[in-house]
Amino acid sequence: MSTPFGTDITDGTTYPDGLHGTVINYGKQSQVELLEREYLKVPIIIKWIGVGKRLTYKEVTDLYIHLVDYRDILERNGWDVPRLHEVIIYKDKRAACMSVYEEYITGQRIDEIIKDSRTVRRTWELFASLFLLLARQETIAVTMGNQQLHRLSYGVDLKPSNLVIDSAGKVYLVDTFGPKVIKPSGQWAAYSKKLEGIGKEPLMAVTATREGILLRFLRLVGIEDAKNATIQRLWDCLHEAGIPPSEVKFVIDEVKNGYPWLDYLYGKSS
Ligand SMILES: Nc1ncnc2c1ncn2[C@@H]1O[C@H](COP(=O)(O)OP(=O)(O)O)[C@@H](O)[C@H]1O
Ligand SMILES: [Mg+2]
């Protein structure tokens, strides 16, 4: 091939030739492949970011220049992330994309643990540790969707599918390639509608405010139409983790009422 964009993939876009492993996930934003070779001491993940999204070269380089910074920010604020080995940008006349090589975390995803009814206790312990980390974050007061909220200095895509637990029980945030760096002005340093799928403001609300992060997470783990006992347990868990009482109240009211604020935000973004 004269360009790295050689192979057609099913959605009709082109896909760079190069080192490939076994596809383990074809997500909304990326394709993830597991690379196991005798010459590699440890398994590695290759992620193809922006495949099928027709990103421009500018959009890809905007993401690229914030990657390292963003991982630093996450680590400084207490998040564990897989080791990054290499990033490569590909470009042809029509589109660009990025491949990243990172440490493969052998373990279980949180959404799998949650689905397993035998691990209810483990699930709540995990929630407690995540809430504790969120409670420790420094925040500033902001208003979004007519609601007073507490905003972190960066964004984090806290979805159950983005959390992998290794055999030692360490929780890793594995989805860090939509770098959510926030400028001092309060705007995203890099933002791609094609990758994120939602508007800048709702994205800020659900990835960078403590209330929004919590609510999206709780809805994704399936806490909907919850029984009183679950609501009480959630209240205790948030409270014991040190989430401020006014935030706990807002979160619990949302959960009880079927997430009206979260729906309003998403409605605004479409
Ligand atoms: N470093 C990693 N170690 C183990 N599993 C991973 C790693 N990175 C991604 N995965 C798996 O691949 C899935 C998709 O990766 P992710 O980076 O979240 O892509 P997407 O942008 O498509 O959500 C994750 O939900 C997880 O199951
Ligand atoms: Mg993900």
Class of domain 5-103 (CATH, top level) = alpha beta
Average pLDDT, the chain: 89
216 vs 226 pLDDT, higher one: 216
Q: Return the pLDDT at 38.
A: 75
DSSP at 178? S
Distance 111 CA to ligand 1 centre (A): 12
pTM for this model (two decimals) = 0.92
DSSP at 4? S
Q: How many CB atoms lie within 10 A of CB 125?
A: 13
Does the pLDDT at position 15 exceed 90? no
Does the pLDDT at position 186 exceed 70? yes
Atom 8 (ligand 1) nearest CA: 174
Q: How far is CA 26 from the centre of its chain?
A: 15
User: Does ligand 1 lie within 6 Å of residue 79's CB atom?
Assistant: no
Q: Return the pLDDT at 155.
A: 98
Band (pLDDT 50/70/90 cuts) for residue 17 is: low
Q: Return the pLDDT at 146.
A: 87
Band (pLDDT 50/70/90 cuts) for residue 11 is: very low
Q: Return the pLDDT at 8.
A: 45
19-42: pLDDT as tens digits: 678 888 877 778 898 988 777 778
Does the pLDDT at position 225 exceed 90? no
12: Cα within 13 Å, side-chain hemisphere:
1
242, 248 in Cβ contact below 8 A?
no
Specify the range with the lowest mean pLDDT, choosing from 95-99, 133-137, 243-247.
95-99
104-130: pLDDT as tens digits: 999 999 999 988 878 888 999 999 999
Does the pLDDT at position 1 exceed 70? no
Q: Return the pLDDT at 16.
A: 58
Ligand (nearest to CA of 45)? 1
Band (pLDDT 50/70/90 cuts) for residue 10 is: very low
Does the pLDDT at position 2 exceed 60? no
154: Cα within 13 Å, side-chain hemisphere:
23
5 vs 73 pLDDT, higher one: 73
Does the pLDDT at position 14 exceed 60? no
User: Does ligand 1 lie within 6 Å of residue 28's CB atom?
Assistant: yes
44-90: pLDDT as tens digits: 999 988 877 889 999 999 999 999 999 999 999 999 999 999 999 98
Residues of the chain with pLDDT > 70: what percent? 91
User: Does ligand 1 lie within 6 Å of residue 27's CB atom?
Assistant: yes
Q: Return the pLDDT at 267.
A: 81
Q: Return the pLDDT at 213.
A: 98
Query: Which of 175, 192, 203 has most ligand 1 atoms within 8 Å of CB, for mutation?
Result: 175
Q: Return the pLDDT at 266.
A: 84
C-alpha span between 99 and 95 (Å, rounded): 14
Q: Return the pLDDT at 210.
A: 98
Which part of the chain is CATH 3.30.200?
A: 5-103
Residues 6+ apart with CB under 8 A from 56: 95, 96
